[in-house]
């Protein structure tokens, strides 16, 4: 996969060369190029922003600079690309998106700053290629670079060969619509807290059931919206029995309070 990132702060993307992503790049599984938006400015101040039409606070990134930059970046590689623009006004980025992006040949990220990129840039490229405006959460950052780091890591770890054990991705949180349950390692007892007996039992069926139950409990407590979104056939009888017991326990606690 080829990933291009256009930004006014290229150094912000240095973590892409570290750890798992760095190894993926070194082994040729991932090709990453970071481009300085200011290379496409034509004035002595290398200005990339201007005041907004209609007034208001902040500055808006100029369409001319972005158009020149994206034209050049897109033309440098013949592979079909998807343009991704991180913005707090975008739709939520999900694990499903990560899987979809991992199937793409090329992703191009446009990192906005200030009050964002002139909307005409997104509209222009959307006429000719897939364009996504995405958000990584209901909060505002000072720019799109941090969001790009999040998205690229979520996508790259799904590429074949990037993770040492492919089961790691298959058993992640969200892979089956649930949050992943707790994990444990040695020692068996730490500060008077033992590892659950079932995990040391060697009974693979019991371990699988325990992990499923803990995933259901954690999802019900922290992300009930995920449970509500599950298809009808995603839960078996044991799943439903556990969730009913959890709901009854919660109801009793509410009544007692």
Across the strands, what pairs with 121?
none
104, two tokens: 């793409």
Q: Which residues are paired to 143 by β-bridges?
A: 113
Does residue 115 carry a catalytic annotation? yes
Cis before 187? omega within 30: yes
Tokens of 232: 């009808």
Which member of 115, 153, 171, 213 is catalytic? 115
Q: Which of 2, 82, 106, 157 is catalytic?
A: 157
252 given a catalytic annotation: no
Please indicate whether residue 157 is annotated as part of the active site.
yes
Q: Is 224 a catalytic residue?
A: no
Residue among 36, 77, 172, 213 flagged as catalytic: 172
Token pair for 93: 């980025």
Calpha distance 13→34 (Å, rounded): 7
Q: How far apart are CA 58 and CA 113, in angstroms?
A: 10
Q: Which residues are CB-neighbours of 65 under 8 A, at least 6 positions away?
A: 37, 40, 41, 48
Cα separation of 208 and 213, whole Å? 9
Q: What is the DSSP letter of 112?
A: -
Catalytic residue among 88, 106, 176, 218: 88
Q: Which residues are catalytic?
A: 88, 115, 157, 172
């Amino acid at each position: 996969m080829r990933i291009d990132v256009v930004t006014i702060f290229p150094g912000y993307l240095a973590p892409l060369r570290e750890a798992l992503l760095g190894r993926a790049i070194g082994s040729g599984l991932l090709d990453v190029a970071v481009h300085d938006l200011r290379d496409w400015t034509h004035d002595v101040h290398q200005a990339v922003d201007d005041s907004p039409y209609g007034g208001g606070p902040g500055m808006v990134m100029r369409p001319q600079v972005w158009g020149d930059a994206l034209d050049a970046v897109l033309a440098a590689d013949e592979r079909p690309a998807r343009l991704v623009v991180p913005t707090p006004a975008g739709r939520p980025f999900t694990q499903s998106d990560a899987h979809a992006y991992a199937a793409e040949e090329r992703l191009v990220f446009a990192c906005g700053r200030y009050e964002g990129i002139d909307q005409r840039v997104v509209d222009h490229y959307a006429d000719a290629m897939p364009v996504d405006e995405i958000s990584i959460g209901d909060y505002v950052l000072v720019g799109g670079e941090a969001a790009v780091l999040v998205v690229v890591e979520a996508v790259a770890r799904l590429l074949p060969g990037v993770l040492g054990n492919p089961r790691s991705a298959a058993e992640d949180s969200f892979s089956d619509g649930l949050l992943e349950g707790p994990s444990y390692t040695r020692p068996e007892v730490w500060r008077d807290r033992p590892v659950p007996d079932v995990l040391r039992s060697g009974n693979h069926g019991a371990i699988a059931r325990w992990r499923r139950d803990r995933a259901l409990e954690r999802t019900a407590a922290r992300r009930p919206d995920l449970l509500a979104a599950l298809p009808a056939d995603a839960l078996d009888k044991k799943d439903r029995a556990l969730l009913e017991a959890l709901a009854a326990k919660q109801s009793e606690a509410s009544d007692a309070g």
